Amino acid sequence: MTTKTNTANHAASTDAIPTSADASPASTAAPASTGTAPASAPAAAERAAETERTRAVVAEYLRRVADPEQGPEEIAATYAEEVDWQIAPNPAVPWIRPRSTRADVVGHWVELAAHTVPEAGGATIDAFLVDGADAVLTGHLHGTVRATGKSFHSPFALRLTVANGEIVRHHIYEDSLGIAAACTPDRAEPTA
């Protein structure tokens, strides 16, 4: 996630991560209304196995983000060398922009730590849904910008896709305008 936590605090809550029994898809068969036949037992078993592999990779990513002993390189190691990291860029926020490589992911965590107060940031996860190669997390993030001292709070949704045991897609949706407002210094009042 982009602004959900910082490398010094790693306050992302993994307590809300459901166990595999809590978050497994209700059915792996195609809906009857589509006119397609239900998935075969081997196909359903492979889909379930892929779901569990994805869950394990994302859980490891969250563990590393939450662990203060894990730095930007360790967090980025859960990503593929090439990654589709999408977020609406905002020039007022140094760390909010698209990324395309594992090295860019390292840069995200370095920039986030440089521009936010470590003890005043984090995230909570409300939902962690996994189906096949895709995982979606929703929750709330918060932080304080070093340069302005202003705080931000935002709901977020994060879609991650896993291939070959690595995260290959990272699409995050958050209140980047609110975060930009926290990064923007207040105007000084003119003196008479």
Its pTM surpasses 0.95:
no
Please give the torsion angle defined by the CA atoms of residues 114, 154, 128 and 5, in that order, rounded to the nearest 10 degrees. 20
Which of the pair, 139 or 29, is modelled with greater confidence?
139
d(CA 171, CA 134): 11
Report how far apart, in Å, the C-alpha atoms of 188 and of each of 27, 146, 171, 182, 185 are. Answer: 58, 18, 36, 16, 9
Tens digits of residue pLDDT in 139-166: 999 999 999 999 999 999 999 999 999 9
- 3 state DSSP class of 92: coil
Q: In the prediction, which pLDDT does 1 show?
A: 45
Choose the weakest-confidence range: 17-31, 119-133, 155-169: 17-31
pLDDT at 18 over 60: no
pLDDT at 30 over 90: no
| Mean pLDDT for the chain overall | 83
Contacts of 108 (CB under 8 A, 6+ apart): 2, 72, 85, 95, 99
pLDDT at 34 over 70: no
Tens digits of residue pLDDT in 43-102: 999 999 999 999 999 999 999 999 989 999 999 999 999 999 999 888 889 889 999 999
